[in-house]
Structure 1
Amino acid sequence: MIGVGATAQALAHPKTTRNLLIVAMVILLVIPVGLVALPVTMVLAMGPNSVAGTGGACGGSAPAVASGQTVDGYGPDQLKVASTIITVGQELNVPPHGQILALMVAMGESGLRNLNHGDAVDNTTIGVFQQGAGYGSIEKRMDLATAAGAFYARMLTVADWQTAAPTLVANAVQINADPNHYTPFWTPAQHVLIALTGTATSTCQVPADAKAAAAALVADVQSGKLTFLEPRYEQQVLNMADGTATPECTVDARVLQLIVVAAQAFQSVGVSDLNRRCTGMTPGAGTASAHWKGKAVDFYALNHRSLTGSDDLSLQLIHVLDPYAPHGSSLGQSDCRARAKVHTGLLLNFTDAFPDTCTHQHIQVP
């Protein structure tokens, strides 16, 4: 609980006040869902029922296997294994590229079969990904969803996993002898994803202008998908949608578009900061902040989990937004990631990063 003394002291410090509000809102968001927050590694390893995702970044189609279906020599039973791997990836908001990586590894390790034994080199590994004892009990490694979640958890820690050669990313996760072993399976993995979901990519729908983007966000607020830390930030979006926003209270169209993309890619989105000039708030960089110009947004929660700038969802958010951000955009929380020893990997449009408090993920446009 936030004590009365702490609250009174915070009133004189706007940034502290905002952080207390973030804590309070996260409690309201998280407790109804799970009573206690699960560690990131546990959420990733628990399988498809642990996080109610949206079908991958921007809602790719759920996989479906037709009776008697075969793809590149893989039959219905193997495609059902592939379907589970894809589903777990979608529910963890892993982009299609990562799902193809997982399918490629499963093909290269087991031929998309949930084997209860290893090979001549190492007969202690088991399951569709041929995971060793370091992945947990036999039961966990033989459970398809748990094994897939464990693979994705390690894959997401590989630097530049979205841009490096797929077989090298797979080798970094699997630590197999031949780094090129998985190369022949990349194309069949793409074919399987296309056959089961209808596409090997997923594209977010970006509204054409600020008013259209704001209108989409109003709909997300009404559905409960989008939550603002305080009503004044929500009002900024409402006014942008109905055309009544005053000049000092406008939000850059590109910022609104990025929030729309986030709302498409994740189950729920929490925003803690928008245009500070409109609210008169001057924490941190004060009037020099991009928030003062309506060119920044702070995300404090995704999928009912609080963000730190260095957790898995913050990193996923960064990679989901990167293709849609204008070149020269910036990220906060560089110090949070440095302390946690995590890296964003290669980004195309986010070209700068700076320190910020570890209670959210800051995004700003140039």
Structure 2
Amino acid sequence: MGAKEKWLAGDVPAARAILQEAYAAIPNSEEIWLAAFKLEFENHEPERARMLLAKARERGGTERVWMKSAIVERELGNTDEERRLLDEGLKHFPSFFKLWLMLGQLEERLGYLEKAKSVYESGLKHCPNCVTLWLSLSNLEEKMNGLSKARAVLTMARKKNPQNPELWLAAVRAESRHGYKKEADILMAKALQECPNSGILWAASIEMVPRPQRKTKSMDALKKCDHDPHVIAAVAKLFWHDRKVDKARNWLNRAVTLAPDIGDFWALYYKFELQHGTEDNQKDVLKRCIAAEPKHGEKWQAISKAVENSHQPTEAILKKVVVALGKEESSAESSKH
């Protein structure tokens, strides 16, 4: 799109002009409204962004318009207006899970945990197959009422969504967090029976077994899913721990090549090069990561979607994820001793 090229070249007025011409020609194109909103929002013009979204809502905007409208208010710290837009949006689009999720997160941020719980529960009545809502509810239950409540939520979630690796992994991790290693192992075995080709489960199971057994476990994982980037990254970590630097680098490179959109692998690769690589290696990974513009990954999204990190460039998010990985490693080490 011409407007994006102008914007990336730093010419915001020219990008704005192209979009104005575009919506003079196609006044009802939501894509153009949203592109114009994004241009203003990313260039720190929240009032202009707000005005565009208000017009888009008047023209009967879709769920995306309501979601973006709430995001602007969240960023400006207008919690009442954010809540009003989410409530209003849900009247129009009750089966759009992201609005339920944002409303629940808003209540959680404000410390209204009971309210958040009932939002997630209402959301699940409309979207029983939304894994993210189930995970949000189980995390909240664990925070409010402890492990047994979270277990109950995750069991119900798995009943309604069989063969879902993310729900199994959440159950395994919940047991591990509370020190129930045996229960975690039993659940992992069941999980791999139900989802034998799940890369995220195999990768987690490699990390769960004692170090001497990891090589064997990784061979099993590669037999089941040899092209899965999660398994490949887990194997790369084994080489890294064994100081097999070239092999680790090759496997990390495979992971980011297979899944360039997953930021967690880029962070792992960059952290590795900071430890073992030259300055050129580090610059190369950084440059490739910026070009890939990753949007997914468990740790990546936790950081990139945090309110305080909106508008942060890829490089800044990458470095924050590397710091988070380091902290996670240190706490894992200290819990072993």
Q: Is TM more than 0.5 here?
A: no
Higher relative contact order (CA closer than 8 Å, sequence separation 6+): 1
More helix by share: 2
Q: TM-score, normalised by structure 2?
A: 0.30
Q: TM-score, normalised by structure 1?
A: 0.28
More strand by share: 1
